[in-house]
């Protein structure tokens, strides 16, 4: 069932001048710009026609396009790697930042200008190839056929898809056979599963599954060099179908004062189990990011992934502790993955290749470390809590509102819960699932302070102080200690319930649902005919009888008695929030470790350094606001939601 468009122009009454919500200077309103065209068969016919004209099996053409863009045309706009249209034909100008960035890794530039190659092959003007869907599909088919002929392989619409592995590999525009083969494997896995989707322009496309075993020996017929060594010093810990190499972050002393960088050696899980994978974005290009992680005076993370093709570098072994989350407890128990991109730009950088390869890596790491594939354990940097009241305001907000969590968890094989076993009523747990492409929430400040962001899919619903579209957004005292309302600023996460997050329903009023959020009620619209929240069973915490409020924490450190001589006690300070009597919050994990990994010196030795201090005081991880939090088990009762 297609979901309704949710472009909330009514948010103009909150932190957005009325004059900016209607027709903006030089462009249509947000609602007009985002409303999809009526479904038609134009794209489907374009694939059929191009298949017949250039002798490419239609299933191959569809699968290649799906792997590149999920059949979206991006309305003539370029991707981060200079690609246009559903076939992602590239037109990167010489000397540009994109050419220098991607060409630096590729060592060649012909794959950066496939749009012009397609123009030579088809006779179609490059402008039409960029902007016209049918022309773009024809150009992609012509390219595939030319790659097939260059390897002296059969061409014909009725040829078996198994015979096109080499051409598909070449189409990736990759630097080497490892990367090209990974792309082709993705395409053939799509063929095996089939796909169905309504595109960004309302085109309804269906590709039935095809049972095919590709001829992978064709990869050797391509002109591509072999891939990088998969195991170098330290050893890249990556799935075999991911193009990945080891680029170590430095562990070394910086001068003579004992300062060192840029991570800590450990022996996880023996020195602390790995509970989380943290999704970051780089807020910069991949080369600059790689330069930073190799700086011994900077911080670190385990992996960096390039946007254009999902190419991956590992910097810190998963057994060691990287400095990436801004919360030492989360660092102790997590793996950090940086994705090339900018949170305020979203789809320009968060490419299909990035999502698909990131999901490969996360599935591999989750299986290896027994991490549940859910939104309580595969988290955004924006879900990491502050450690003290003073640090809450400075915590990060990446990967931001434009990261498609629903698509990501589909790729992980663990779709976000999207049906209700129970009615949505007071006391039930609900999972938020607002859709993405049609859920274009109004925000400001993506490019210029105070100006509306260009409409694109978002991953959240806004939360209000009352069941009314004109009501102000809820408050977050951690972000605004003065008690001011949250805003529609792109970086302001104070009033957002993101896809996959869970809450307990406090009240229902018609189409509106109130949840417990940061110690108060927060309302969002979820009509029964097109809901954004779905009820499910689960565990909740409630304050123990007699307690008027219960503190929440940003870390689960041990009690003072657990610390041996020589290791200073690490105080556990409550955050500025609390859980009131009568409130309830869903449990994300009941089995977290109450511990502190002591790592304060370079190459430190047990029993006072590079050791795990384990406590007996138990904590639960809970869904609390936009971020997660921890509560002491002694303060709450653990109950089944009703």
Q: What is the pLDDT of residues 435-479, one digit of tens each?
A: 998 899 999 999 999 999 999 899 999 999 999 999 999 999 999
What average pLDDT score do residues 327-334 get? 98
User: pLDDT for 538-579, tens place per residue?
Assistant: 999 999 999 999 999 999 999 999 999 999 999 999 999 999
Beta-strand relationship, 303-305 and 334-339: parallel
Nearest Cα residue to 437 out of 457, 408, 463, 422: 457
Q: How far apart are CA 419 and CA 424, in angstroms?
A: 11
Q: How far apart are CA 187 and CA 198, in angstroms?
A: 19
Q: Token digits for 246? A: 């080891």
User: Residue 210: enclosing H or E segment and its boundaries?
Assistant: none
Q: How far apart are CA 431 and CA 416, in angstroms?
A: 8
Q: What is the pLDDT of residue 233?
A: 41
Statement: residue 23 has pLDDT above 60: no
Q: What is the pLDDT of residue 80?
A: 65
CA angle in degrees (0–180, nearest 5) for 451-457-458: 80
User: pLDDT for 279-305, tens place per residue?
Assistant: 999 999 999 999 999 999 999 999 999
Statement: residue 78 has pLDDT above 80: no
Statement: residue 38 has pLDDT above 60: no
Statement: residue 341 has pLDDT above 60: yes
How far is residue 554 from each of residues 195, 442, 563, 578, measured CA to CA in Å? 41, 30, 19, 12
Helix, strand, or coil (residue 154): coil
Nearest Cα residue to 439 out of 536, 307, 531: 531
Q: How far apart are CA 251 and CA 210, in angstroms?
A: 49
- Residue 481 is given by DSSP the state T
Q: What is the pLDDT of residue 543?
A: 98
Give the CA dihedral 148, 81, 437, 195, nearest 10 degrees. 20
* Mean of per-residue pLDDT scores for the chain: 89
Class of domain 228-401: alpha beta
What average pLDDT score do residues 260-283 get? 97
Q: What is the pLDDT of residue 416?
A: 96
User: pLDDT for 233-251, tens place per residue?
Assistant: 457 899 988 889 999 999 9
Q: What is the pLDDT of residue 41?
A: 59
Q: How far apart are CA 638 and CA 212, in angstroms?
A: 50
pLDDT tier at 21 (50, 70, 90 boundaries)?
very low
CATH architecture of 36-221: Orthogonal Bundle (1.10)
Contact criterion met (CB below 8 Å) for 599 and 609: yes
pLDDT tier at 110 (50, 70, 90 boundaries)?
low
User: pLDDT for 575-610, tens place per residue?
Assistant: 999 999 999 999 999 999 999 999 999 989 999 999
* Choice among 113-117, 139-143, 324-328 with the minimum mean pLDDT: 113-117
Burial class (CB in 10 A: 0-12, 13-18, 19+), 19: exposed
pLDDT tier at 396 (50, 70, 90 boundaries)?
very high
Nearest Cα residue to 17 out of 442, 543, 632, 527: 442
Q: How far apart are CA 379 and CA 277, in angstroms?
A: 6
CA dihedral sign, ordered 380, 65, 186, 303: negative
What percent of the chain lies above the pLDDT cut of 90? 76
Q: What is the pLDDT of residue 11?
A: 36
Q: What is the pLDDT of residue 228?
A: 58
Q: What is the pLDDT of residue 421?
A: 74
Q: How far apart are CA 225 and CA 105, in angstroms?
A: 13
> What is the residue extent of each domain of the chain?
1-35+421-536, 36-221, 228-401, 543-640
Statement: residue 49 has pLDDT above 90: yes
What average pLDDT score do residues 11-28 get? 29
Q: What beta strand segments (E) does 592-635 contain?
A: 595-598, 611-614, 619-623, 628-632
Contact criterion met (CB below 8 Å) for 430 and 519: no
- Helices 58-69, 133-150: crossing angle, 10 deg rounding: 110
Q: How far apart are CA 417 and CA 505, in angstroms?
A: 16
pLDDT tier at 223 (50, 70, 90 boundaries)?
confident
Q: How far apart are CA 122 and CA 138, in angstroms?
A: 8
Q: Which residues contact 248 (CB under 8 A, 6 or more apart)?
A: 233, 234, 294, 315, 316
What average pLDDT score do residues 101-118 get? 65
Calculate the CA 598 to chain-centre distance.
Answer: 31
User: pLDDT for 206-217, tens place per residue?
Assistant: 999 999 999 999
Nearest Cα residue to 308 out of 189, 109, 172: 172
Q: What is the pLDDT of residue 509?
A: 96
What average pLDDT score do residues 65-78 get? 85
Q: What is the pLDDT of residue 243?
A: 86
- Residue 489 is given by DSSP the state B
What average pLDDT score do residues 181-196 get? 92
* Alpha-carbon Rg for the chain in angstroms: 25
Q: What is the pLDDT of residue 623?
A: 98
Statement: residue 18 has pLDDT above 50: no
Give the CA dihedral 268, 269, 275, 279, nearest 10 degrees. 30
Helix, strand, or coil (residue 502): strand
Q: What is the pLDDT of residue 76?
A: 77
How far is residue 87 from each of residues 46, 71, 132, 611, measured CA to CA in Å? 12, 8, 11, 52
Whole-prediction pTM: 0.86
Helix, strand, or coil (residue 356): helix
Q: What is the pLDDT of residue 104?
A: 45
Q: How far apart are CA 4 and CA 461, in angstroms?
A: 13
Q: How far apart are CA 283 and CA 287, in angstroms?
A: 12
């Amino acid at each position: 069932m297609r979901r309704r468009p949710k472009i909330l122009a009514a948010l103009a009454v909150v932190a957005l001048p009325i004059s900016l919500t209607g027709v903006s200077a030089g462009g249509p309103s947000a609602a007009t710009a985002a409303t999809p065209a009526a479904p038609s068969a134009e794209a489907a016919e374009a694939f059929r026609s191009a298949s017949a004209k250039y002798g490419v099996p239609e299933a191959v053409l569809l699968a290649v396009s799906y792997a590149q863009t999920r059949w979206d045309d991006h309305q003539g706009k370029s991707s981060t790697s200079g690609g246009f249209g559903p076939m992602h034909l590239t037109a990167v100008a010489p000397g540009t930042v994109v050419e220098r960035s991607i060409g630096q890794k590729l060592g060649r530039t012909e794959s950066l200008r496939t749009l012009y190659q397609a123009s030579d092959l088809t006779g179609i003007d490059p402008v039409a190839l960029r902007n016209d869907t049918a022309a773009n599909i024809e150009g992609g088919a012509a390219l595939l056929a030319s790659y097939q002929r260059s390897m002296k392989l059969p061409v014909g619409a009725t040829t078996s898809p198994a015979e096109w592995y080499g051409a598909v590999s070449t189409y990736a525009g990759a630097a080497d056979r490892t990367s090209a083969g990974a792309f082709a494997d993705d395409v053939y896995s799509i063929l095996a599963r089939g796909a169905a989707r309504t595109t960004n322009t309302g085109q309804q496309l269906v590709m039935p599954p095809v049972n095919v075993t590709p001829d992978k020996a064709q990869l050797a017929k391509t002109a591509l060099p072999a891939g990088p060594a998969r195991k170098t010093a330290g050893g890249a810990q990556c799935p075999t179908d991911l193009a990945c190499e080891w680029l170590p972050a430095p562990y070394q002393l910086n001068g003579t004062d004992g300062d060192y960088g840029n991570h800590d050696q450990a022996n996880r899980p023996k020195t602390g189990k790995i509970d989380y994978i943290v999704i970051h974005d780089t807020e910069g290009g991949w080369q600059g990011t790689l330069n930073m992680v190799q700086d011994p005076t900077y911080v670190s993370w385990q992996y960096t992934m390039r946007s254009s093709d999902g190419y991956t570098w590992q910097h810190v072994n998963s057994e060691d502790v990287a400095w990436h989350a801004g919360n030492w407890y989360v660092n102790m128990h997590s793996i950090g993955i940086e994705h090339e991109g900018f949170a305020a730009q979203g789809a320009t950088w968060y490419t299909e290749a990035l999502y698909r390869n990131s999901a490969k890596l996360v599935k591999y790491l989750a299986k290896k470390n027994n991490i549940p594939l859910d939104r309580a354990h595969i988290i955004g940097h924006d879900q990491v809590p502050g450690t003290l009241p003073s640090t809450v305001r400075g915590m990060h907000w990446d990967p931001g509102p434009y990261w498609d969590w629903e698509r990501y968890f589909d790729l992980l094989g663990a779709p976000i819960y999207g049906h209700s076993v129970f009615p949505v009523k007071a006391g039930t747990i609900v999972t938020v699932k607002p859709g993405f492409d049609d859920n274009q929430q109004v925000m400001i400040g993506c490019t210029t302070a105070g100006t509306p962001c260009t409409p694109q899919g978002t991953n959240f619903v806004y939360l209000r102080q009352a069941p009314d579209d004109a009501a102000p957004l809820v408050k977050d005292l951690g972000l605004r200690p003065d008690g001011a309302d949250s805003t529609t600023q792109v970086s302001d996460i104070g009033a957002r319930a993101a896809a996959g997050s869970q809450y307990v329903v406090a009240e229902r009023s018609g189409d509106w649902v109130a949840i417990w959020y940061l110690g108060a009620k927060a309302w969002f619209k979820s009509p029964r005919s097109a809901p954004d929240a779905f009820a499910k069973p689960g565990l909740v915490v409630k304050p123990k009888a007699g307690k008027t409020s219960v503190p929440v924490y940003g870390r689960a450190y041990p009690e003072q008695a657990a610390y041996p001589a020589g290791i200073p006690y690490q105080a556990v300070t409550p955050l500025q929030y609390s859980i009131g009597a009568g409130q309830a919050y869903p449990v994300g994990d009941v089995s977290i470790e109450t511990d502190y990994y002591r790592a304060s010196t370079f190459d430190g030795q047990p029993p006072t350094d590079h050791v795990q201090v384990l406590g007996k005081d138990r904590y639960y991880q809970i869904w609390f606001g936009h971020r997660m939090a921890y509560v002491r088990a002694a303060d709450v009762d653990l109950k089944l939601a009703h």
